[in-house]
Structure 1
């Protein structure tokens, strides 16, 4: 696969995935019952969105790899782990297992295994470190929008919100996904720019 094709697919994957993740998160906000159909649909949408974002991250890093360097690579890997744990796995859990438990064992649904909480806490910490590392690397690289890199640091807000069980956790998640929307659009725009430049270069070479 050419770098141009990888960049295009990554841009589409990030854009569509982050929009779906935002839509799923909004549906989840208006659902208070784990067995509610709106919450289940929102979790499924968020699962699909998180999966697409994960698939788009390697191409995003490849676009700025030379300037983002090792910190950018580490940040990308950590963000993949973060989205895999809290986005994909967490959403799948909320969509499939939690509604079943809430329906057949309501008392059990009021608590969670201690190991699961630690698992999600580790995922959040990885996201905080990944958001800072990838965000700063994106800002420093100056290839993709710098403010999108700032938005990726919203993962820190999500971790703090989850720790204190505050609604600001949702704000942090939204900021990260908006950052990925911006990066997806930027990847598609730069891909079109590169294709135009390459076409003009080929035309000039033919004339010569």
Structure 2
């Protein structure tokens, strides 16, 4: 199997599509976060889906950035780094939720309940959860800022689907409205980001990077063919003289 830039770009596009679909799927009928949920199989499945979303999305945005690195400029670099860090921190948070939380749910129910409270936008912990709260909040800031900056950079680059790039930026900004709209299910705000990743991934998959090459013989203009024959004839005369 030959690994080419086209193969890697398509793999990144597929990763973004699957990641976006996982993110949308996690939101469907998501139960209320409480202590009882942490000990269930559904919790482990949903946490695993979140880990898959963050991991695949990281691979996807890496392919998007490399595809148009010259067009996105400094804004694209900053947006990519910030969003990538957001996904990296998200993986650490979700892995902790999948592996650690069920193990200590019975011995430290107060700690687990406080972590779940902080995980909800606008939520606050009643007790001390150490650096876990700071990690969750930092992840939220990086995810929001990175989505906004990277979405703007992709939109300005005009390489991948612009509607999806705009939706990525708008989806990140829309999360700021969650605390002000407690009556709205906050998980609905994640759907635009998932759709944006699917759209960008599909756009990256379809995109073809072909190296610059001379046109085929039948597509060349008569003028180019005439000039080529004259140059060949002149070179032959020089060699024979």
TM-score, structure 2 normalization: 0.72
Q: Deviations over 1:98-128 (max 9, x none)?
A: 2222234323322241422222212211222
Establish whether residue 204 from structure 1 lines up as the match of residue 216 from structure 2: yes
Q: How does 1:1-208 map to 2 (within 5 A)?
A: 1-26=3-28, 29-30=30-31, 32=33, 33-86=37-90, 88-112=91-115, 113-153=129-169, 154-158=171-175, 160-161=177-178, 166=182, 169-191=186-208, 194=209, 204-205=216-217
Q: Is the 8 A contact 1:75 1:134 kept in 2?
A: yes
Which ranges of structure 2 fall in alignment gaps of 5 or more residues? Answer: 116-128, 221-241
Taking the aligned partners of 1:206 and 1:46, their CA distance within structure 2 comes to: 52
Provide the alpha-carbon RMSD of the alignment.
2.6
Runs of 4+ residues over 6 Å off in structure 1 = none
Aligned residues: 199
Give the superposition deviation at 1:37.
Answer: 1.4
Taking the aligned partners of 1:164 and 1:120, their CA distance within structure 2 comes to: 20
Give the superposition deviation at 1:62.
Answer: 1.5
Structure 1 residues 206 and 157, CA, compared in 2 at 3 Å: closer, same or farther? same
Taking the aligned partners of 1:104 and 1:7, their CA distance within structure 2 comes to: 46
Q: Is the 8 A contact 2:20 2:194 kept in 1?
A: yes
Which ranges of structure 1 fall in alignment gaps of 5 or more residues? Answer: none
The equivalent of 2:125 in structure 1 is none
Q: Deviations over 1:167-204 (max 9, x none)?
A: 5542332221211111110011113xx56xx7xx7882
